Structure 1
Amino acid sequence: MEDLERLTKYIPIVHFIGEILGKNCEVVLHDVTKPDNSIVEIVNGHISGRKVNGPITDLALKIMKDKNYKDKHFICNYESVGKSKKPFRSSSYFIKDEHNEIIGMICVNVDLSDLISARSVIEDAIMLANFTITANNKPNHTEQQKSALDLNVLESFEDNIEDLLLSLIKGVLSESEIAPERMSPKEKIDVVRKLNEKGVFLLKGGVSEVAKHLEASEATIYRYLNKIK
């Protein structure tokens, strides 16, 4: 059975979850074997601005690259952010084949902006500094939450592959105080290594886009990739 045929069986579940959780919840079915246009179905896509055939996310790329899905079925309640910078609470379920390889994901993204605004109103109304209702105010993450946090990625949603690549490349370049045109080959290799860890080169056009930003040829980027493997 083809992977896409298997995944289409999950489309009714996507709509089922969307109906239960309502208009402030986006539900997405991804075909991770096609990261450039992975979205098979989406409910309440207005929340992130994405549509069918949109690209995969940066977090999903890292999960695929690091194979974090091997020993778990899902990750729950991690932080993500929409293109409009709205805060989301997200969860992802991994769809695997008979060889325990990931072929798809069902992702649920709850828009928290209204709830956070309501919390602010309530806190203003309470008007007591350091008011607590429990003895311990520290967040208590579940094991699934910890596994998501360990990925060290704040998931962001882009509605096209160009924006996703740009976001990932600029994110890595921003970590360096050296402009690409002044980087040594060793420093550029380090940039390529970080981008590879984020799954950038799983995306169509990844090599050419990185080459452009590093002011190098595509052949040079392929050579750097061979060095870090």
Structure 2
Amino acid sequence: MEDKILTKYKILTEFLAEVMGEHCEVVLHDVEDFENSIVAIENNHISGRKIGDSLTDLALNVLKDEENLECDYLSNYNGKTHDGKELRSSTYFIRDEKEKVIAMLCINIDLSRYIEARDLLNTMIGKRNDIEENNTDKNFAENFTSSIEELIDSMIENSIGSKSIPPSRMTAEEKKEITKKLDKRGVFLLKNSVSKVAKKLQTSEATVYRYLNH
């Protein structure tokens, strides 16, 4: 059944990309396979990803807290590629007959040309007005990586970066706080994540497990 569902959405992936144009990347994720999540992708020059690449931090976060996910989709949130392109992204959740999320259909619009045009106009006008974006899901953001290793490293670095001091000078409580934050974001659903977190926080795997259990 799931294969039939994915086949249908693979066709939709091609259709949407053709309609939206080359500035729009369309991606189909099979969330049953974290490490090889992408099963279809069009206009992949935008993010540089390919079929067989991993899921994103947002997808992992959604799966971690799926029971509290009441919406059918997330629209117009911020995304960023590994080389710094700013995207406007939206994700539609594909569910099975038991309402479990089995796949995600994602649309990522490259804003590069629009940002360049805006900056040019601002230069000509001589005054920049900050206009609030029409973003219905402002609390969500997404970073695009190609592999599970890159995904784990990115999520760990982002969490550690929220502290103004390096791990070598952090207290046990601060390291515990980062570990809990990573757990909430779904990092520990991934293979080898405990050892990677322990290494980044300059502590032992046993200590990370202790943080998670208290």
Tell me how far apart the structure 1 counterparts of residues 65 and 166 of structure 2 sit (CA, whole Å): 28
Aligned length: 214
Aligned positions of 1:1-229 closer than 5 A: 1=1, 3-67=2-66, 70-125=69-124, 127=125, 129=127, 139=132, 141=134, 145-146=135-136, 148-151=137-140, 154-227=141-214
Alpha-carbon spacing, 1:140–1:161, altered in 2? closer, same or farther (3 Å): closer
- The CA deviation at 1:121 is 3.0
What TM-score do the two structures reach when normalised by structure 1?
A: 0.84
- The CA deviation at 1:35 is 1.9
Asked whether the 8 Å contact 2:87–2:111 carries over to 1, the reply is: yes
Letter in 2 for 1:220: T
Asked whether the 8 Å contact 1:18–1:26 carries over to 2, the reply is: yes
Higher mean Cα deviation, 33-42 or 175-184? 175-184
Tell me how far apart the structure 2 counterparts of residues 92 and 40 of structure 1 sit (CA, whole Å): 15
- The CA deviation at 1:100 is 1.8
What TM-score do the two structures reach when normalised by structure 2?
A: 0.90
- The CA deviation at 1:5 is 4.6
Higher mean Cα deviation, 86-95 or 3-12? 3-12
Alpha-carbon spacing, 1:140–1:9, altered in 2? closer, same or farther (3 Å): same
Asked whether the 8 Å contact 1:69–1:102 carries over to 2, the reply is: no
Tell me how far apart the structure 2 counterparts of residues 19 and 27 of structure 1 sit (CA, whole Å): 10
**Unaligned regions of 5+ residues in structure 2, if any?**
none
Tell me how far apart the structure 2 counterparts of residues 202 and 139 of structure 1 sit (CA, whole Å): 35
**Unaligned regions of 5+ residues in structure 1, if any?**
132-136
Tell me how far apart the structure 1 counterparts of residues 117 and 131 of structure 2 sit (CA, whole Å): 21
Asked whether the 8 Å contact 2:122–2:128 carries over to 1, the reply is: no
Per-residue CA distance 1:117-170 (angstroms, 9 max, x = gap): 123333444x26468xxxxx85364xxx43x2234xx31111122111111101
Supply the RMSD in Å over aligned alpha carbons: 2.1
Tell me how far apart the structure 1 counterparts of residues 172 and 3 of structure 2 sit (CA, whole Å): 41
SS across alignment from 2:145: coil
Letter in 1 for 2:13: V
Asked whether the 8 Å contact 1:36–1:204 carries over to 2, the reply is: no
Letter in 1 for 2:202: E
Asked whether the 8 Å contact 2:86–2:112 carries over to 1, the reply is: yes
- The CA deviation at 1:96 is 1.0
Asked whether the 8 Å contact 1:81–1:155 carries over to 2, the reply is: yes
Tell me how far apart the structure 2 counterparts of residues 179 and 122 of structure 1 sit (CA, whole Å): 41
SS across alignment from 1:201: helix
Alpha-carbon spacing, 1:207–1:139, altered in 2? closer, same or farther (3 Å): same
Between the aligned residues of both structures, percent identity stands at 43
Tell me how far apart the structure 2 counterparts of residues 81 and 88 of structure 1 sit (CA, whole Å): 6
